[in-house]
Structure 1
Amino acid sequence: MRIIGGQFRGLHLAPVGDGDAKAHLRPTSDRVREAIFNLLINGGYGDPVTGARVLDLFAGTGALGLEAISRGAVRAAFVDDGTAARALLRRNIELTRTMGVTDVWRRDATRMGPNRGAGYSLVFLDPPYGKGLGEKALASCVEGGWLAPDALIVWEEGVPPAVPQGFEMLDQRSYGDTVVTMLRPES
């Protein structure tokens, strides 16, 4: 697993092997991550990465948020309640030397609570597949004020998720066993 583009391009991240089923670690493959960022940059959304405040829910290794920082995001907050995931995440933050622009929160992404800062403009949502956690996390983010009004949400799931009320689907693509859905809050 490595950073695909930007200032850290080619940097290898801490190895996970095939993932950790008990810890629900299922890192986004390099190929899918590259497709996501190509879609973000070339999908007609302007440039949602440069200057973004990123919220990486069910962060795991943090590869999505760190890829965004490599490509110009100004800050990333990583949310994961798994011990193994946070250890890998901290190691990857050390490897990329991004301690000053990252936050790691031990928190259940389905119970975010109130946000005390500005909303996040780019949100990565990569829950364990098939458990309905993506819907709960998104509802929690709305309730807590975590999303900027024009936030772009990139949701990975094993099957196409139902678009929650209050959101519009912008795009949806399949990459093997991963379905990537792009959402935005309705204006």
Structure 2
Amino acid sequence: MKHHQRSTSSPSGRGASGQLRIIGGQWRGRKLRFCEVDGLRPTGDRIRETLFNWLAPMIHGARCLDLFAGSGALGLEALSRGAASATLIERHPKALASLEENCALLGASGAQTISADAISWLEQAQPAQPYDVVFLDPPFATSLLQPCLTLLQRPGLLSSGAHLYTETDRQQPAPVTPPHFELVREKNAGNVCYRLYRSFENIT
């Protein structure tokens, strides 16, 4: 997850250090440090456990995209559980540096970190292969989720049967997903509503 929690960064602006734990797969139990910039913090263990139980039948060998990578909690968890690759988009330099360090520490050969704004990246992205799973957890106080979902309709970005995961404030209405997507899972945890959508047609 990423930037939607209240900031816990240090007054100096350098950013405090937080800790992330991988909860399943080959790196289960590994603890990683990350830079807490602009309130960045990972998706909680309970939510991640539920999400990856939902994704268990399709995560092995999947090509994943995490558009607001932050600490890497979702993308690295996916790789730990057998995803073939994870493209991690992060615009904050300090967060990206921590993310790259953690990928190196884990030997996460399937990870690709990219310094970019999610919207700008989606407008230009031309992946060699479409993505099977996309994680969308933008800052709650922004309106970034809907334009990202719209841009994901660009040809070549999503595979047939792709899954989209979103996190929003539970008080917010559900986002409008691309055509041919259906809501398959939905759950609340605290002030968070998290949802999993699935494509039921070939949209590539």
TM-score w.r.t. length of structure 1: 0.87
**Alpha-carbon distance, 1:144 to partner:** 5.3
Residues 182 and 197, structure 2, Cα contact 8 Å, conserved in 1: yes
Change (3 A) 1:33 1:116: closer
Tell me the CA shift for residue 73 of structure 1: 0.5
Structure 1 Cα separation of the partners of residues 60 and 95 of structure 2:
26
Q: 1:85 aligns with which of 76, 81, 95?
A: 95
Structure 1 regions of 5+ residues with no counterpart?
42-46
Give a deviation string over 1:106-157, Cα, whole Å, max 9, x none: 1221231131311010111110014221111122222253111211111111
Determine the structure 2 residue equivalent to 1:20.
37
* C-alpha separation in 2, matches of 1:122 and 1:116: 14
After the TM superposition, list the runs of 4 or more consecutive aligned residues in structure 1 that deviate by more than 6 angstroms: none
**1-side partners of 2:164 and 2:177: how far apart?**
12
Q: Which residue of 2 aligns with 1:104?
A: 113
Amino acid at match of 1:172: E
Higher strand share: 2
Tell me the amino acid that sits aligned with residue 30 of structure 2. L
Structure-to-structure mapping, 1:10-159, within 5 angstroms: 10-16=29-35, 19-21=36-38, 25-41=40-56, 47-98=57-108, 100-111=109-120, 112=122, 113-143=124-154, 145-159=156-170
Give the gaps of 5 or more residues in structure 2. Answer: 1-19
CA distance in 1, matches of 2:34, 2:75: 17
Show the counterpart of 2:13: none
Query: Which of 18, 24, 41 is the matching residue for 1:5?
Result: 24
3-state SS of 2:133 partner: strand
User: How many percent of aligned residue pairs carry the same amino acid?
Assistant: 38
SS at match of 2:32: coil
Letter in 1 for 2:182: E
Select which of 151, 168, 175 maps to 2:182. Answer: 168
Higher Cα Rg: structure 1 or 2?
A: 2
SS at match of 1:64: helix
Q: What whole-Å deviation, never above 9, does each CA across 1:30-49 have from its counterpart, x for those lacking one?
A: 222112112222xxxxx110
**Deviation by residue 1:1-59 (Cα, 9 ceiling, x = unmatched):** 2000110000001144xx432xx523211222112112222xxxxx1100101111101
Counterparts of 1:161 and 1:92, CA distance in 2: 33
Aligned partners of 2:34 and 2:95 also within 8 Å: no
How far apart, CA to CA, are the structure 1 residues paired with 2:127 and 2:178?
24
1:182 aligns with 2:201: no
SS in structure 2 of the partner of residue 76 of structure 1? strand
Figure out how many residues of one structure are paired with residues of the other and give that number: 177
Return the alpha-carbon distance in structure 2 between the equivalents of residues 165 and 54 of structure 1.
18
Measured on the aligned residues, the alpha-carbon RMSD in Å equals 1.7
Q: Cα distance, 1:186 vs. partner?
A: 4.5
TM-score by length of 2: 0.80
